[in-house]
Chains A and B, each alone.
Chain A
Amino acid sequence: MGLVDMMKILIVEDEKAIRELIDMQLTLAGYDCQTAEDGVIGANLIEANSFDLILLDIMLPGVSGFELMDYIRPTKTPVIFITAKHEVSDRVKGLRLGADDYLVKPFDMVELLARVEAVLRRYHKAESVMEIEGVTIDFDAYRADKNGHKLELTAKEFGLLSLFVHNKNIALYRDMIYERVWESDFDGDSRTVDLHVQRLRKKLGWEHCLVTVFKVGYRLEVPK
């Protein structure tokens, strides 16, 4: 896991429940998190520390998220906006102010992790090459090797692999897997997911760690 363990993320969010939720999820995923409940505390933390990523709520009491961007921009820290608004104008404003991505409430854990991972990778803060259970995965080249041999993976299988390695030790539900990898609504037919997971398991030789969660889906189990 290497660098990921040391990734420092600042969460600025006034809702306690959501602040702790993001904190808990990112900590579980192996990030080092700090939280701020309003813009002033956030600004102080930004001045005193250096972060790899900032998750910023737009509707903050006191100093708003948009205003806080003025503090963040000089540090060149990537920012993901958290917004409850679906309006395009708000998102455009956020992106124009220098945000790298946005997260619309409500969001689920996988989406949060995926966006964090994507932004970090864009900034080359996350590794584009990962080694896990004897398999080397190069996300930029869309390529996976085992024992020096290139594995022949289809696009969907590579997507599956990517999803699993980014959500280690997390039970991934079939509907969620389908929505993420196939990018369409799950229609209740789970055989597509099962078929692909079984083929992937066989190709990688991951029968021991890519386990089936009864009645739910699959989980990639790796020692922490």
Chain B
Amino acid sequence: MKFSLKLFLWTISIVAATLAVGGYYIVNSMFQTSLARETKQVMDESGIIRFGFEISALNIPYKYEHLQDQDIARIAQRLDTGGENRYVRICGEDSVPLYASEGFPTGSVSIKGDMDQGFEDGGSAKELAYRIIPIDRRYYIQTAATLGIIDRSLSLETLTDITNVFTEREAGFSIYRRVCIVILICEGIIIFMSSYWLTRPVRFLSVAAKKMAKGNYGARAKKISSDELGSLTQDFNEMAMSLEENVYQLQEAARAQEEFVGVFAHELKTPLTAIIGYADMMRSQKLEEEKLLLSADYIYQEGRRLEKLSFNLLDLIVLKRTEKPTGTFHTKAIFEYIRDTFSKFDVNLRIQYEECEVYGEMSLIKTMVANLVDNAVKVSEPSGLVEVTGTASDSRYTFTIHDCGCGIPPEHLSRLTEAFYMVDKSRSRSRHGAGLGLTLCAEIARLHGTDLTIVSVVGMGTTVSFNLEVLNNE
């Protein structure tokens, strides 16, 4: 069942129950009040009649030894002037009626017998008692009293029609029911609309959640209130945002992985094709010596390329699983190694450095600097300037490798460290490049908590730098 419907049903039932109980109580208490008033009046009247009868009976001269039946009737007739609604009856011994008002409802039960037992609803005295009885769909208050007349045992009964009190109650209920229905209808419309309006945020949330379940991660719920539901909407939207981000990252990672595999397959297949092809040709055909040597050379070169590719890949895999290095080393060793390694190349190598002890894994930094210098040498003209500098400032030691080569077009800069990415494919191929050198360097830098900063101007040269933490001796 819908929440708004539940809210509606609950509210409406509570209102209806409250109205019913309250209304019943009010109408009923009004009824009780009028009934009590009527009763009191009837009792009073009954008392007056009794008193009047007794006085009249005393005033009758004693002709006989006891009061005659016709005298009783006469007195009663005189006293019975109370109006249409009241009937009087006087019974003698053996419950024989001696007088009854005109229209005294027949079929009414004689009260004599009951009087001896006492009435249910009042009057314990044998002198005066009353009860409320329905006769022929009308309600009466019946009173009974013993008349204290000498020699005679008489009883006085009055019967007063109080149907109007009951009719009023019925009318009260009926009006109240109608009022209730009108109130409930109005209330119902208002509650239904307000519960629908209050649960709007929930419906928005539900729509957004369904959209997200279908894969539309950009779906958001509209925030329309500032209450708990509003903050729930906000929380939901924040969750959706971080979810979307995660999904995007996962997709990116999957795409990068796929691309890596594709490029890797290509990089692997090219040398393999050459090796297999040349070897196949050499084994199946008698080749001239020149072609034989050429083929063997291709096999060798492509084999070397595969070797470099596999070692670089292995390094990358190992690096990805290596913890951050905690060792230290002197920077002098790096620069001296670079000087030794690259002095035989045809470049103007200028090395300048401050001696310092820094945090890092020396073999990795050596690989990284050698890679960067190798790149610089490759792009340099013969006898071109390649500067390798090391400067310490505050707590960081900065390595900078600068060349005056062709530079890198800006559109390539962001992708330089991607695996197998080559700016000039044929040029790096001719030097057994596999496009993994900078990827490796970036990985080593990441491991040491630093970044490769590459600044390049086309035609002017490229500067690559990174920094390491200086060991504090103090």
Contacts and interface: CB of A to CB of B under 8 A. Distances in A.
Given A105-B272, A169-B285, A21 B266 contact: no
Contacts of B302: 17
A109 B281 contact: yes
B265 interface: yes
B266 A28 contact: no
A172 B262 CA distance: 33
Given A61-B425, A85-B265, A18 B284 contact: no
B284 A15 contact: no
A209 interface: no
Contact of A105 (B270, B278, B281, B298): B270
Nearest to B429: A15
A15 B266 contact: no
Secondary structure class of chain B's binding surface, majority of residues: helix
Contacts of B284: 109, 167, 170-173
- Most chain B beta-carbon neighbours within 10 Å: one of A18, A86, A171, A172: A18
B426 A106 contact: no
B283 interface: yes
Contact of A37 (B271, B286, B426): B426
Contacts of B294: 20
Given A106-B272, A169-B285, A14 B426 contact: yes
Nearest to B278: A21
B298 A17 contact: yes
Contact of B277 (A18, A171, A173, A216): A18
Contacts of A28: 281, 285
Interface string B258-270: 0000100110011
B285 A106 contact: no
Contacts of A16: 426, 429-430
A171 B262 contact: no
Nearest to B268: A84
A18 B357 CA distance: 49
A129 interface: no
A106 B301 contact: no
A21 B277 contact: yes
Interface string A100-112: 0000011111000
Interface in A166-204: 167, 169-173
A165 interface: no
A24 B294 CA distance: 11
Contact of A170 (B285, B298, B429): B285
Contacts of B286: 169
Contacts of A85: 262, 265-266
Contacts of A167: 284
Q: Which 9 A-B pairs have the closest CB atoms?
A: A17-B274, A106-B273, A105-B273, A84-B269, A21-B277, A171-B284, A105-B269, A84-B266, A106-B272
27 contacts: A15-B429, A16-B426, A16-B429, A17-B271, A17-B301, A17-B302, A18-B277, A20-B294, A20-B298, A28-B285, A61-B425, A84-B266, A84-B270, A85-B266, A86-B265, A105-B272, A105-B273, A106-B275, A106-B276, A107-B276, A109-B277, A109-B281, A109-B284, A167-B284, A170-B284, A171-B285, A173-B283
Given A16-B430, A28-B285, A59-B266, 17 more contacts: A14-B426, A17-B270, A17-B271, A17-B301, A20-B294, A21-B278, A25-B277, A28-B281, A61-B425, A84-B266, A84-B269, A106-B272, A108-B280, A170-B284, A171-B283, A171-B284, A216-B283
Interface of A: 14-18, 20-22, 24-25, 28, 37, 59, 61, 84-86, 105-109, 167, 169-173, 216
